[in-house]
Amino acid sequence: MKAITLPATRPGSRILGTGAYRPERVVSNAEICELIDSSDEWIRERSGIIERRYAAADESVTDMAMEASGKALASAGVAATDIDTVLVATITHPYQTPSASAELADRLGTHKAAALDVAAACAGFCYALAQADALVRAGSSTYVLVVGVEKLTDIVDFTDRGTSFIFADGAGAVVVGPADQPGIGPVVWGSDGAQKDAITMTQSWAQYRRAPADKWPALTMQGQAVYRWAVGEMADVCRRTVAAAGLTLDDLDVFVPHQANMRITDSLLRQLSLPDHVVVSRDIATTGNTSAASVPLALDALVSSGQARSGAIALLVGFGAGLAYAAQVVTLP
């Protein structure tokens, strides 16, 4: 009988380099409050956000992904021509098809790399990172570019006081390659579609097409329900993720939760009682919530500023619309 041959598997993969792109335009809480009934004080207190970045009107998801990817490739010391797979986590690439990843793979100058978009909202980057790790370990890919990018300002209703102050734009990227020892731990992930309405669109594009006089589809969120889910369930996800990697919470050096709300980060810290030496990302203060871009942006900020050292053990956790979540422990480049 004929048998299928598989490539040689590898003992592990790791993040080789990180990169980020933060759009030029800084938007203050005062500017946000020009369109909603709110205040700088309320936004800071309830979300921890002081300011955020908005992309320019003509700046696309792939433009931002290009910038972050170029930096990640340079910091990894990997040429674009060596990238064989491009994974882009995003919910705001404004074309149903073709994918942002296929466009990015071409614009970067890869040799026609495999390309796939991942739509898992704020958990998207951690979902894509898990795929990259699996592809490299299975021998299906050697170097994978993983990007989290959003232009949420394209789908935010600036007059909705439940969402307008939170969401923002940006891109973060990492390059994943082979390693002698695992540098990316097992993913712990899942979803709860029964809560799909907690973060959704006001209507579908098909509905809008039938009644074009309607307001265009915009992001809408039941903030309290999402908040309760995140603080109620993500601490356990974090514990399970660290255990799955064969580690304890005391082994962690760095904690990079999705930058959803500073109060969610604080709640997770209280529940997990992380040791004092753990460096915790608080990137949301100046970046806002950038959904799929938030974890790689936050990670890059800690790595590039030297706040997190090379070789440090970091716990990443993404959570949001779906409701979906994904988490893994990684060794920093």
Distance of CA 187 to the CA centre of its chain: 15
User: Is 320 an interacting residue with respect to ligand UT7 (CB under 6 A)?
Assistant: yes
Residues 147-166 that bind ligand UT7 (CB under 6 A): 161-162, 165-166
46 binds ligand UT7 (CB under 6 A): yes
From the candidates 93, 238, 258, 261, which is the catalytic residue?
258
Please report whether residue 200 would count as binding ligand UT7 according to CB under 6 A.
Answer: no
223 lines the binding site for ligand UT7 (CB under 6 A) = yes
- Does 224 help bind ligand UT7 (rule: CB under 6 A)? yes
Tell whether residue 42 is a contact of ligand UT7 (CB under 6 A).
Answer: yes
Q: Which of 126, 129, 325, 91 is nearest to 231 (CA)?
A: 325
122 in catalytic set: yes
Binding test (CB under 6 A) with ligand UT7, winner from 36, 116, 201, 269: 36
Kindly identify the residues of this chain, within the stretch 256-285, that bind ligand UT7 according to CB under 6 A. 260-261, 264
Choosing from 54, 125, 143, 227, the residue that interacts with ligand UT7 (CB under 6 A) is: 227
Give the nearest distance from C-beta 314 to ligand UT7 in angstroms. 20
Residue 47 contacts ligand UT7 per CB under 6 A: yes
Q: Of the candidates 322, 254, 262, 332, which has an alpha carbon nearest to the alpha carbon of residue 292? A: 322
Which residue, 87 or 260, is less far from ligand UT7 as judged by CB? 260
Residue 325 interacts with ligand UT7 (CB under 6 A): yes or no? no
Q: Closest Cα to residue 64, out of 24, 6, 37?
A: 24
Pick from 12, 38, 138, 233: which binds ligand UT7 (CB under 6 A)?
Answer: 38
* C-beta closer to ligand UT7: residue 183 or 322: 322
User: Catalytic: 126?
Assistant: no
Cβ-based neighbour number of residue 205 at 10 Å: 11
Q: Is 296 in the site for ligand UT7 (CB under 6 A)?
A: no
| Interaction between residue 217 and ligand UT7 (CB under 6 A) | no
Q: Which residue is nearest to ligand UT7 (CB)?
A: 223
Nearest Cα to Cα of residue 125 among 324, 283, 286, 287: 324
Q: What is the CA radius of gyration of the chain?
A: 19
Residue 289 bears catalytic tag = yes
Tell me how far, at minimum, the Cβ of 39 lies from ligand UT7, in Å: 7
Cα–chain-centroid distance for residue 68?
13
Least distance from C-beta 300 to ligand UT7, angstroms?
A: 18
Find tokens 């050292």 and name the residue. Answer: 309
Number of amino acids touching ligand UT7 (CB under 6 A): 22
**Nearer of residues 122 and 332 to ligand UT7, judged by Cβ:** 122
Q: Which is nearer to ligand UT7, 177 or 320 (CB)?
A: 320
Single out the catalytic residue among 93, 122, 126, 238. 122
133 burial via Cβ count (<10 Å: 0-12, 13-18, 19+): buried
Residue ranges binding ligand UT7 (CB under 6 A):
36, 38, 42, 46-47, 122, 161-162, 165-166, 199, 223-224, 226-227, 230, 260-261, 264, 289, 291, 320
Question: Which residues are marked as active site?
Answer: 122, 258, 289
